[in-house]
Amino acid sequence: MSIRRIAKIFKSRPTIEGAGVHLKRAFGYSQVPQFDPFLMLDDFHTANPAEYLPGFPWHPHRGIETITYVLEGVVEHGDSMGNKGVITPGDVQWMTAGSGIIHQEMPKESPTGMMWGFQFWANLPARHKMMPPRYRDVKAADIPLVKLDSGVKIKVVCGEVAGVQGPVRDIVIDPELLDVAIPAGTTFTHRVQAGHTAIAYILDGEGHFDDRRDAFAYEMEGSGWTDITRSCLCGPETIVLYERDGNDVTIVAGEKPVRFLFIAGMPLNEPVAWYGPVVMNTQDELRTAFEEYAKGTFVKHG
């Protein structure tokens, strides 16, 4: 067994997207080559309805997959193919935009006022960028919960843990998406496919995310020059990017339990041409996409 170590840690940064949704961006844009095949991870977590109700009105996507996971609150969605539905707490929507889709995602005010969810984008390889769009709508009840003898609990959306496979399958980049909760002082080790990109985004608590206890053993981005005290414990709104070498990730919870999303997938090693909601391989392909959108010929299927 060889343990993967932390390559770099990023602190999420506040930003505003859509029609005025306040969120934290864990990574995206300038960090993209390091996270291949993943493009972006956004965390929208607020108890102020004014910060999420503006939502994400009608907008196009092409060349990517968007994955939405809601912990609290309700998000209504619809698209140019006539699909519509509601994402409720614990649900996951895995949307493959492929050749092109126009859709909207509109959060609704919850009884508690709280909205907490995540959306990350996964790139599609060149040969699949123009595939027909499709949805994988997964209800919370259909996501298996694995309980290990150690007390660790894992919701398996995509991938496999202890012989239990998640409901989202047959995805091009062969990804994993796990929601992991580790009791205080407990160790969790998980096997990662060789060469796959692996990241962890901490939701709550704190833990050691590799076998080192040296806060200066890796680079940290986004903490600011005034952050002169560094801890080897990783806490909320922090994303851990692992090195590509090694077979396993090992996480040890601190004095408090730790909960995090674990995401892994096969790098594409292809050029990325990205503008707004469209991600292609060349600038010419981007230009074509937006010309088609202006002419009303963007949607190819449905």
CA–CA separation, 143 and 154 (whole Å): 10
Going by C-alpha positions, the residue among 128, 130, 139 that lies closest to residue 170 is 128
The structure tokens listed for 289 are 């996409």
Compute CA distances 54 → 49, 113, 119, 221, 244, whole Å.
9, 14, 16, 30, 39
- Which helix H or strand E contains 284, and what residues bound it? helix 283-295
Give SS3 for 228. coil
Which regions in the chain score pLDDT beneath 50? Answer: 226
Would the CA dihedral through 283, 289, 293, 294 be positive or negative? positive
The structure tokens listed for 297 are 């010929």
CA–CA separation, 203 and 146 (whole Å): 19
What's the confidence (pLDDT) of residue 288?
97
> Running DSSP on this structure, what letter comes out for residue 233?
S
Compute CA distances 163 → 4, 90, 160, whole Å.
22, 22, 6
What's the confidence (pLDDT) of residue 228?
55
Domains in the chain with CATH codes? 6-295 (2.60.120.10)
Strand partners, 3: 248
CA–CA separation, 217 and 237 (whole Å): 20
Compute CA distances 33 → 12, 67, 77, whole Å.
17, 19, 30
Phi, then psi, of 208 in degrees rounded to 5: -90, 125
CB 51, CB 82: distance < 8 Å: no
Strand partners, 284: none
CB 1, CB 248: distance < 8 Å: yes
Residue 298's identity, in one-letter code, is F
pLDDT digits over 119-158, tens only?
Answer: 999 999 999 999 999 989 999 999 999 999 999 999 999 9
CB 209, CB 240: distance < 8 Å: yes
Give SS3 for 296. coil
Instruction: Give the count of alpha carbons within 13 A of 290, CB side only.
Output: 13
What's the confidence (pLDDT) of residue 275?
95
CA–CA separation, 294 and 15 (whole Å): 27
CA–CA separation, 145 and 139 (whole Å): 13
CA–CA separation, 174 and 62 (whole Å): 19
